[in-house]
Structure 1
Amino acid sequence: MTTSNPSVDDVRRWRRHLADERANSRVFHDLAARRHGEERDILNALAEAEERHAQHWVTLLGDHAEPAPRVTLGHRVHAWLARRFGLLFVLSLLQRSKAGNPYARDADASSSMVADEAVHEEVLRALAARGRLHLSGNFRAAVFGANDGLVSNLALVMGMAAAVDSSSIVLTAGMAGLLAGALSMAAGEYISVRSARELLAASQPSHGTKDALGGLDLNTNELELVYRARGMDPDHARTRAADVLGQIHLRGLTPDDAVPAVMTDADEQDAVLNPWGAAMASFGFFAGGAVIPVLPYLAGLTGYAALLTALVLVGVALLLTGAVVGVLSGASPLARGLRQLLIGYGAAAATYLLGLAFGASGLG
């Protein structure tokens, strides 16, 4: 570890680490102030760890620690988001920032700091996972709806523009695609969520089962079969059933969990959605995405000018939606954005070529 006569590069690097640690500590404190219970305690503990790391760099820097180093633009963005947006968004950004663990290659960082940074990434991943579980259902409907609207209607507009020479026909086709697609998405999402809720309801114990437990024979104990059918091993099922029937026969009490329900993680996620809410969200997000390719035609543009404008607008929208998915999933926003862009443009190019192949006169 360098402790005396540090070079200019050493001082610059240490000051950058100091700025990062202080900025992270402020972000964690800002997030903790908006939470409660266990999450608040965890976030405050992370902030305290960052302060310990900051003190390490202050000690190394000595007089070079002043004036306080300026916070980077990235940390300013994190702090701003922490005060204005949801916990998941900020945690996902912080999780990604910890993934590189810059201390792993820095001889001036202590071994405990290297370990801390690696563990902090996992703590952030675990905290973000809670939010992702609650977000997944509605977020899925929103992202799928918006991206389907963008890609399908851009492809439709491209194909029609290549096949006919009338901008009014392209606009009509685009609006028809918007309405038909939005209604189809809404209907599909409603049926999907409603079916999931009905399947979940079919797995719940009947009302009469709990009342019938008092009449079971202690020597045969049919309740054991229920537990085994629900996934318990035979020994555990036998012990649990005997305990439940013992409470019923000896004390006249029926535990609330005497007859367990069947519910998987997927069921829990789908069950929290309201079918009508999911349908309206899908309709709105699909329509919002599908209207973008037809905006140039609504504005009066025609021919290649309208088509190129639609491509640019949809490209920007695909990059943004892909980047948001990347941030929330802890992946690279740029990589996810480019993936969305390539898929969307690939579909549009395919339909454009088909339009040229089967159209009568091409662009007008």
Structure 2
Amino acid sequence: MRNKNIQTEVDAWFLYQKLAEHEPDATIAKVFRQMSEIEKSHAEAFVKQENMSAEDLTRPSWRAKTLNTIGKIFGYDYVLGVLMDTEKSIANAVITTKRKNKQKITGSEASHVNILRTILEKETKVTGTQLSKFESRHRSVGGNAIRAAVLGGNDGLVSNFSLVMGIAGATAGQQGVLLAGLAGLLAGALSMSLGEWISVKSSQELYENQMQIEMEELETNPEGEMKELALIYMAKGIPEDQAQQMAADIMKNKSHAHEILIKEELGINAEELKGSAVEAAVYSFILFAIGAIIPVLPFIFTSGMKAVLISVLASAVGLFLIGAAITLFTGKNVWYSGLRQVMFGLAAAAITFGIGKLIGVSIAG
């Protein structure tokens, strides 16, 4: 556990460094550098506790390096989101342990969750735009597209694997398996894409309505909105004079003020609403189909129990890879997460195979 703590701190140290290197805003970059130094000091403290030398500090893990690569491709907002999730998980674990052991909860347990905002707010030159920009990043916990990719592929693989095994159980891997598998792929992918389209479209319409209401309030009562914005900043711990100045600066530009207000009051990031519902639907269709085709492929080239066994092996590999990919979000052990995914996937397939076998026997009888 202690070695895991050291690795966690080293990874955070490494990732905050990368965030600082790729952050165009000088103030926020400074915050990330400070956070990197804090994480470095934590790692060194753990090493000292273990009577190890500074040279014994571990290198960044494969997970941290993978996250850095993802950051280069998809943007570093995702990396910040993962770091915030990790900090929250650690804080919750510490609080749970203290409660179990009837230890006093001091409030410092969740300090890492708030420390980024605290450092930023202590910057005397911080602007409302910078604060809003930072908070919208970690609130959105970037990487929704990556999560969707993993979960979409998992849904396609598990559901179609179970369907294929059910039909294979009823027919001994002969007639109808390929047709059923392809039908399941198409039906599932269409259902997922339609659901994604409805989800994105309805969210956009809801937020657009709320944004319109906020604009009307801004036009009819700008003084009230400025006071409200100042109060929001004061509630975050920013001194009253600084909060009022930040609010006044923001209100000089109506469109900019509207953007900040919807972020601060409603938690809406206007940039996230620019995504196309059609693109999201197509993306969802493709991801589901990629997962769903894996258990079907062997039946294209062969049949019978040979195809069933190959399908099981291919699906098991796919399930393990999905479980391993999930550790990018959870930070859990790759083998644990991968094998757990395989176990549950195989269990679902075994159940449907058994039911299919019973149905096949009863029909034959």
Query: What corresponds to 1:313 in structure 2?
Result: 314
Task: Give structure 1 stretches of 5+ with no counterpart.
Answer: 1-12, 102-114, 215-223, 225-231, 233-252
Cα offsets for 1:313-340 (capped at 9, x unmatched):
2223223323333431455555544554
Structure 1 residues 89 and 297: CA distance shift in structure 2, 3 A: farther
2:32 is the counterpart of 1:43: yes
Query: What corresponds to 1:227 in structure 2?
Result: none
CA distance in 1, matches of 2:179, 2:165: 13
2:84 is the counterpart of 1:77: no
User: Which amino acid counterpart does residue 34 of structure 1 have in structure 2?
Assistant: H
How many residue pairs are counted as aligned between the two chains? 298
CA distance in 2, matches of 1:309, 1:200: 47
Query: What corresponds to 2:286 in structure 1?
Result: 284
TM-score for the superposition, normalised by structure 1: 0.60
User: Which amino acid counterpart does residue 160 of structure 2 have in structure 1?
Assistant: N
TM-score for the superposition, normalised by structure 2: 0.60
Distance apart, 1:296 and its partner CA: 1.9
Alpha carbons 1:196, 1:267 under 8 Å: kept:
no
Residues 79-228 of structure 1 aligned to structure 2 (within 5 Å): 80-81=65-66, 83-86=68-71, 87=76, 88-89=78-79, 92=82, 95=86, 99=90, 119-120=111-112, 123=115, 130-131=137-138, 133-135=140-142, 137-165=144-172, 167=174, 169-205=176-212
1:293 alignment partner, SS class: coil
Distance apart, 1:155 and its partner CA: 0.8
CA distance in 2, matches of 1:319, 1:124: 35
* Stretch deviating more after TM superposition (267-276 or 321-330): 267-276
CA distance in 2, matches of 1:121, 1:301: 54
Structure 1 residues 89 and 51: CA distance shift in structure 2, 3 A: closer
Cα offsets for 1:200-220 (capped at 9, x unmatched):
334454799679959xxxxxx
Cα offsets for 1:147-179 (capped at 9, x unmatched):
211011101110111111454521121112112
Alpha carbons 1:185, 1:286 under 8 Å: kept:
yes
CA distance in 1, matches of 2:308, 2:319: 16
Alpha carbons 1:25, 1:51 under 8 Å: kept:
yes
CA distance in 1, matches of 2:292, 2:262: 41
Cα RMSD, aligned residues only: 5.3
Distance apart, 1:141 and its partner CA: 3.5
1:359 alignment partner, SS class: helix
CA distance in 2, matches of 1:143, 1:61: 37
Choose which of 271, 279, 296 in structure 2 pairs with 1:294.
296
Alpha carbons 1:137, 1:273 under 8 Å: kept:
no
CA distance in 2, matches of 1:279, 1:360: 40
User: Which amino acid counterpart does residue 33 of structure 1 have in structure 2?
Assistant: E
Structure label with greater radius of gyration: 1
Query: What corresponds to 1:324 in structure 2?
Result: 325
Q: Which has the higher helix share?
A: 2
CA distance in 2, matches of 1:356, 1:137: 39
Distance apart, 1:276 and its partner CA: 0.7
CA distance in 1, matches of 2:12, 2:158: 38
